[in-house]
């Protein structure tokens, strides 16, 4: 696990195993994985909404990085509060690499409400 400084507090960064457990067990998301180069990447979605489309995947390209951190995105395109956030890209995806466990849960709760 990586130590990071977040809002003035040093804390452990999330790792892939923790994120995978939270998304599967707490939010009931399914995972489809793919290999791209050196990394295995997972996209998470609700089983009943498994039609392959970027907006059906709640999380995309979640992967364990060599430095111990995690990369990937959560789709926040339907949350107006993230319209101008610097970590939201033009596709409506938000980088999850610097989120704490609590922030991941809170953001996932907001996002998944829109999918149900």
Q: What is the pLDDT of residues 51-73, one digit of tens each?
A: 445 557 889 999 988 888 899 99
pTM, rounded to two decimals:
0.79
Average pLDDT of the residues in 12-21: 85
Q: Give the domain ranges of the chain.
A: 15-115
In this prediction, residue 40 has a pLDDT band, given cuts at 50, 70 and 90, of: confident
Label residue 37 left, alpha or beta by phi (over 0 means left) and psi (-120 to 50 means alpha). left
- The full length of the chain comes to 116
Name the percent of the chain lying above pLDDT 70: 79
Q: From edge to edge, which strands make up the β-sheet containing 57-64?
A: 30-36, 39-45, 57-64, 70-75, 93-95
In this prediction, residue 11 has a pLDDT band, given cuts at 50, 70 and 90, of: low
Residue 9 confidence (pLDDT) above 80:
no
pLDDT higher for 36 or 85? Answer: 85
Q: Is 62 exposed, middle or buried (CB count within 10 Å of its CB: 0-12, 13-18, 19+)? A: buried
């Amino acid at each position: 696990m990586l130590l990071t400084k977040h809002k003035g507090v040093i804390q452990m960064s999330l790792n892939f195993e923790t994120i995978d457990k939270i998304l599967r067990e707490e939010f009931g998301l399914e995972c489809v994985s793919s290999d791209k180069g050196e990394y295995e990447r997972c996209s998470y979605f609700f089983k009943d909404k498994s039609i392959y489309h970027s907006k059906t995947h709640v999380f995309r390209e979640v992967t364990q990085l060599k430095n111990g951190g995690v990369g990937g995105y959560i789709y926040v395109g339907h949350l107006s509060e993230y319209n101008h956030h610097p970590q939201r890209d033009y596709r409506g995806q938000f980088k999850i690499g610097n989120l704490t466990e609590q922030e991941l849960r809170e953001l996932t709760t907001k996002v998944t409400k829109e999918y149900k």
